[in-house]
Every structure is written in C-alpha cells, then in structure tokens.
Amino acid sequence: MPSAPLRLVLFAIAILCLALVAPLHAADDPAIFPLDQVKPGMSGVAYTIFDGDQIEKIDLQVIGVMNNALGPKQDIILVKLLGDKAAQDGVVAGMSGSPVYFDGKLAGALSLKLGTFTKDAIAGVTPIADMLKVEHFPEAPPSSDAAGIDASRQAINTPHVSVPTGFVERTAAGTGQFLIPIETPLIASGLYPATIARFSREFASWGMTVMAGGTAPPSPADAQLKPGDMVGIDLIRGDLSLASGCTVTTVEANQILACGHPLFGFGNVKMPLSRAHVLMTLASSAASTKVMTTGEVIGTLTQDRQTAIGGTLGAGPPMIPVDMTLDTPDGENKYHFEVVESPQLTAVLVATAAFNGIVGSPIYGEGTTLQLDGDIDLNGHTPVHLANLFAPTDPTTPAGFFLATEVQSDFAQIYSNPYELPQIKRVDLRIRALPERRWAVIDNAWAEKSEVQPGETVNVKVLLRPYRGAPFLREIPVTIPAQTSHGTLELVISDAAFLNRNVQTLASTSQGQLPGLEELITLMNRERRNDRVYATLLQPTPTMLVEDKEMPNVPVSAIDILDRRENTGNARLLWESTVGESSIEMNQVIAGERMLTITVK
C-alpha cells in the first residue's frame, strides 16, 4: 500500500488531471465586471461552440469602449478575437450571445461584428448591465384590444454603428466600416431550395441567414443549459422546421439571456425555445456560420429587446396547427406543422410552408394551375374562407408563389385589423394541382342591344383569349332590375381582381370603420373569385357604406343630412351604385376588363 506522502502526491496528480480534462465552460453564476473598469489592452475570454456541444474558450483583447454607440447610455466594448479559430473563421453567425469575461467576471456578450472582409476578427460586446435590464421588463398581459396590436408592431432595428477614426486605425478596418449585428442562423429543415430562394429575402431583412440544418431527437439533457450553449427559437415545427439560433449568455434558475442584440425587435413575445446543437462551423471569407440542428422545446422566449433576448425554461407556448393537403393526379400528400403565433411573422411563415408543400410535389411544374380551398379558424369568430384559382402568367413566377402570397395577404389583413388581437385556432389548406395552364384574357365584349327596358334581360357576349389555342365566346345573361330608373348604365365585364380593387372595395377601405373583426371577416368572405367572368351594372347615383352594409341609390336628402353632421361616424359615400351583378364559372383564371354602355328607356 503506498505511503501517506505518496498517496497525497497521487491525489494531487489526479486532481490536476481532472482539471485538465474537464470541459471548459463559463461560470453559471459569475460576478459582474463593471463597464467603467474595461480598459484598452485588457485580455479576456469568450465562450462559444464551434462543433458538437463542446464549449470552447476564445481569447480576446479589448480595443476600447465606444460610448453611446447604440444610443444614449448604450455603450459597446470593441474587442479583437485571438487564436487560430478566430483567424480562420472570424466572427461567426450564431456566435451572438457568447459570454465575455475579464478576470473571471462576466462583462457582456458578443453581439456585433466589424465589416465583412476585415483581416482581424473584430467584434462588439454588449455590456452585461444593459442585457440584465431585459429581465425586468414585464411580460405581455393577455390583451384583446387594438392597442395591444399597435404595441406588438414596435420593432427595434439595431443601427449600423460607425467606428470612430481612432478605432479604425487600431483595427486596420479601413474607412467606411460599421459594426453590425452578428447574423442569426435561420435553421431550415425540410425546405426546398426553391422555397429558400423565394423567401430568404424576407428573413434577411431581419438580419437572418437561411441555411440548411436539421432536427435532433429529444434528450433529457436538453434543458440543462450553460452559458456558451446554443438555444433555438422555433418558428415552424413539424413536417418542416424553421428556427433561429443564438448563444446563451447567462442562466439563472429558470431564466436565460442570449444573443446580445434583438432577434426581431418585437418586444414582448411568446415563442418556443429549443435546445440547439452545432454540427460544425462553416468557415467563409465572407460570412462564417454555425451549421446547427434543433431539438426538444425547453421553454418560452418572452423578451426580444435591443440588448438581448430573454426567456423562461419549462413548457413552451402554444403554436398554430396547420394542416395542408395537396391533391394531385398521383394522389394526396398531407403535411402537418405548427407555426408561431405572431402578428408580424405568422403570415410569411404560413406562406413559406404552403409554397414549400407545393414545389415538393413531383406533378408541380411551370404549367401547373392550382386551386385553393381553405379556412382560417379564429377563436370567437366565423372562419375566414380562402378560395381561388392560380395559374402562372409570368414565366419567372410560378403559380405556387401567387397562391402563397394570397394566403399571406389574408393573414396580414386579419392581423392588421384595428379592432382586436385575433387568436387563430388552426389553419386548413386544401390545394388541388391541375396539370395545365388555365387562364384566359377578356379580349372583347359586346351586348346584343344597347337600349333596354327595366326588367329586360340582355345577352352579353364575351370574347376570351386563352393561354394557348383559339379565342372562344361565352355569353352572360344580364337582367336589368325592374326598379331601374331611366338613363345610362355602365356595364363592366371584368375579372374578380378589377371589382375587388375598384368597385365596392369594402374590405380594403373599411378598416377602422366597422363595428369589429367579425364584420371585417364578413367582407373578406364576400370577395369575388378569380375563376369567374363578372358583369356588373353601375349607375351614377351615390352609394352609402355604413359599416359592412351597402345602401345604393341614396336620396339627396340623406346626403345633405350627412354633410351637415360634424361626425359622420362609420358612414361613407361612393359616387356610383351597383344596380346588379352576374357571373359565370369559367374553371380557369380570368384577367382583364371591358366597359360597355347600356341605355334604359
């Protein structure tokens, strides 16, 4: 048996070995390093992940403190990252939030980078005192009023920070350089390249770089976060996934801070947090990035602020379930996913998912026509019904993109209403792919007679020119209402889009002048479909619009009373009235319009 002195020596060696092989990571509950003690030339460290779940240390040196860089009393610590990996990769997308320490005390988080092709890895650090303020912001209370909608639209945009001349000389960055937020990877799993190409610009405007990633199976260790670990913010989950990724700065009890800059800048939010894993760091002279996967939901993001994002570990928030069925001659494809409920993001997320499901079908091609039939279910309201036909009319824009943007537009109209914050229960989209390009243009139109009697029916012939093939005629019987006054009527032969834009545009012009969201939904559901030819009779007499009601042929006395009132309330006037409207089903997308004149004797 070894002697006592020898046992002590062996014990000391064992302790030393454990210290050497123990993984490097930031302290869970560190002391704070005051900003006023940060001086140029100081050495420090940052912690981040380059591959696997192994947190690594990066040495750094302080260049200086830029006072009021982001705004009054919002300073930035400018640092230079050192070492081989910093020299190879630079400041990496996904590194936002990596905790920075001086003398073992937490000073802040990496959040900004300098330039694109700079030789040195120059980064900006958000001071920890500014990040900790996020923890004191109250969470958004449940609200159904319009004020809550307006508040949710307040987005914070981190500006480009100009680097003073003295710092430019020390960083060898050259003139005209700015500090900008480190890009946030937007991890896409199940998205086709065509989808990324169509929608990546929308997400790039938020400072996000769309890249291929994946999902990881859940693990009991997912919620055991440490500073320097990666966390995902889920936007879509299910048969396809989309999530952004940041580095965790602090973990205290069940509260975390990350990023060091805004994700979107929405303020109070409710978004799922998931554990993110780094597969590798892709080095690039333009913009290195972390290739990542996301795992189990581990909490809820509640704050998206100027200096950090913050959230709570535990259960995630509810998301909006979306079911999509794509019916093709080869059979049905069904997709199920969930999207985050956000007035700013839900519309583009559903549009992205819809487009992705369409372009993934083998039957889908340049000449495919798409028929949409769907519903958006809202708590306490009538569903918004979606129905239209979409055919490619532009060689560079597929029909799937037109369908996706119409779905996006409908969501935007719901969320932008000034009456209440809508709560969407679920979305059901049913899309049928028709293997031909079905659209026709209204080439000409004429009535069999130009003088008619009240109550008489006149046949109107419409000449249509299809995408390919010979022009063809269709006939629409138009009945002149028996109560029509003598005089001239305008007969508009048109597609649905012309009427929705120019005749009785109630849904688009009544925002703020209706009793509530239910009436807006009623108007949205009354919009005309684009697979019909419409014949609309108009006469030059005023129509009064009162909330969601139309009152044609308003007498002059009523207009005089309206003019004398200081507050006309929800009443408005259009200087023409619809006498009647007819339409015929065409089973193809119709475009164009023609104006005819009918005289009532």
pLDDT at 212 over 60: yes
Residue 13, in any domain of the structure: no
493 or 570: which carries more pLDDT confidence? 493
Query: Looking at residue 152, what is its pLDDT?
Result: 38
576 or 515: which carries more pLDDT confidence? 515
b/e per residue 41-51 (b: at least 16 CB within 10 A): ebebbbbbbbe
> Which range (134-138, 310-314, 317-321, 500-504) has the least confidence?
500-504
Q: Looking at the structure, tell me whether residues 268 and 326 fall in a common domain.
A: no
Estimate the crossing angle of helix 399-415 against helix 346-359, to 10 degrees: 160
Rounded to whole angstroms, the Cα distance separating 549 from 148 reads 28
Q: How confident is the model at residue 509 (pLDDT cuts 50, 70, 90)?
A: very low
Residue 176, in any domain of the structure: no
363 forms beta bridges with: none
Q: How confident is the model at residue 118 (pLDDT cuts 50, 70, 90)?
A: low
Most confident of 267-276, 513-522, 563-572: 267-276
Q: Domain of 364?
A: 320-434
The CATH number of whichever domain residue 160 belongs to comes to 2.40.10.10
Chain-centre distance of CA 86, in angstroms? 33
8 A C-beta contact, residue 503 and residue 528: no
8 A C-beta contact, residue 386 and residue 374: yes
Q: What is the mean pLDDT of residues 222-230?
A: 91
Q: How confident is the model at residue 554 (pLDDT cuts 50, 70, 90)?
A: low
8 A C-beta contact, residue 548 and residue 514: yes
* The pair of three-digit structure tokens given for residue 458, joined into one six-digit string: 């006149």
Chain-centre distance of CA 414, in angstroms? 14
Q: How confident is the model at residue 287 (pLDDT cuts 50, 70, 90)?
A: confident
Q: Looking at the structure, tell me whether residues 195 and 300 fall in a common domain.
A: yes
pLDDT at 116 over 70: no
Q: Looking at the structure, tell me whether residues 459 and 425 fall in a common domain.
A: no
Rounded to whole angstroms, the Cα distance separating 371 from 431 reads 6
Rounded to whole angstroms, the Cα distance separating 300 from 313 reads 7
Residue 304, in any domain of the structure: yes
Most confident of 9-18, 89-98, 205-214: 89-98
8 A C-beta contact, residue 421 and residue 381: no
For the chain, give the mean pLDDT: 82
* The pair of three-digit structure tokens given for residue 487, joined into one six-digit string: 């005089």
Q: Looking at the structure, tell me whether residues 352 and 480 fall in a common domain.
A: no
Rounded to whole angstroms, the Cα distance separating 518 from 354 reads 26
Report field, pTM of the whole predicted structure over 0.75: yes
Residue 9, in any domain of the structure: no
Nearest-CA neighbor of 351 among 242, 217, 433?
242
Rounded to whole angstroms, the Cα distance separating 303 from 156 reads 12
What is the SS3 assignment for 230? strand
Q: Looking at the structure, tell me whether residues 352 and 204 fall in a common domain.
A: no
Query: Looking at residue 572, what is its pLDDT?
Result: 55
- Number of folded domains in the chain? 4
- Is the dihedral angle over the CA atoms 243, 92, 287, 277 positive or is it negative? negative
> pLDDT tens digits, residue range 406-462?
999 999 999 988 889 999 999 999 999 887 889 999 999 999 998 999 999 999 999
pLDDT at 578 over 70: yes
Query: Looking at residue 160, what is its pLDDT?
Result: 58
Query: Looking at residue 23, what is its pLDDT?
Result: 39
Rounded to whole angstroms, the Cα distance separating 331 from 344 reads 35
> pLDDT tens digits, residue range 137-158?
777 654 444 434 443 334 444 5
Residue 22, in any domain of the structure: no
* The pair of three-digit structure tokens given for residue 526, joined into one six-digit string: 């009354």
> Which range (105-119, 445-459, 522-536) has the least confidence?
105-119
Q: Looking at the structure, tell me whether residues 289 and 365 fall in a common domain.
A: no
Query: Looking at residue 361, what is its pLDDT?
Result: 77
* Domain endpoint, select from 290, 313, 336: 313
Q: How confident is the model at residue 19 (pLDDT cuts 50, 70, 90)?
A: very low
> pLDDT tens digits, residue range 185-204?
888 888 888 888 888 888 88
- CA–CA–CA angle 17, 22, 27 (5° rounding): 135
In sequence order, the 6+-apart residues with CB closer than 8 A to the CB of 309 are 134, 233, 246, 257, 258, 259, 262, 263, 301, 303
pLDDT at 289 over 90: no
Query: Looking at residue 555, what is its pLDDT?
Result: 58
Q: What is the mean pLDDT of residues 402-408?
A: 91
Q: Looking at the structure, tell me whether residues 394 and 264 fall in a common domain.
A: no
pLDDT at 482 over 70: yes
Most confident of 133-147, 154-168, 342-356: 342-356
Read off φ and ψ for residue 567, nearest 5 degrees.
Answer: -120, 110
Rounded to whole angstroms, the Cα distance separating 331 from 327 reads 6
Q: Looking at the structure, tell me whether residues 509 and 404 fall in a common domain.
A: no
Query: Looking at residue 178, what is its pLDDT?
Result: 73
Q: Alpha-carbon dihedral of residues 191, 320, 154, 255, nearest 10 degrees?
A: -90
* Domain endpoint, select from 378, 413, 434: 434
pLDDT at 319 over 90: yes
Query: Looking at residue 78, what is its pLDDT?
Result: 94
8 A C-beta contact, residue 443 and residue 465: yes
212 or 265: which carries more pLDDT confidence? 265
Residue 258, in any domain of the structure: yes
* Domain endpoint, select from 171, 193, 224: 171
* The pair of three-digit structure tokens given for residue 497, joined into one six-digit string: 């889009």
228 or 543: which carries more pLDDT confidence? 228
Residue 5, in any domain of the structure: no
The CATH number of whichever domain residue 274 belongs to comes to 2.40.10
Residue 178, in any domain of the structure: no
Query: Looking at residue 181, what is its pLDDT?
Result: 87
Query: Looking at residue 458, what is its pLDDT?
Result: 93
> Which range (73-77, 119-123, 445-449, 573-577) has the least confidence?
573-577
User: Residue 351: what residue type?
Assistant: A
The CATH number of whichever domain residue 364 belongs to comes to 3.10.20
Q: Looking at the structure, tell me whether residues 481 and 591 fall in a common domain.
A: yes
* The pair of three-digit structure tokens given for residue 54, joined into one six-digit string: 């192994």
Q: What is the mean pLDDT of residues 166-181?
A: 58
Q: How confident is the model at residue 281 (pLDDT cuts 50, 70, 90)?
A: confident
Rounded to whole angstroms, the Cα distance separating 448 from 473 reads 13
Q: Looking at the structure, tell me whether residues 452 and 587 fall in a common domain.
A: yes
22 or 333: which carries more pLDDT confidence? 333
Rounded to whole angstroms, the Cα distance separating 437 from 468 reads 9
Q: Looking at the structure, tell me whether residues 282 and 156 fall in a common domain.
A: no
Q: Looking at the structure, tell me whether residues 253 and 402 fall in a common domain.
A: no
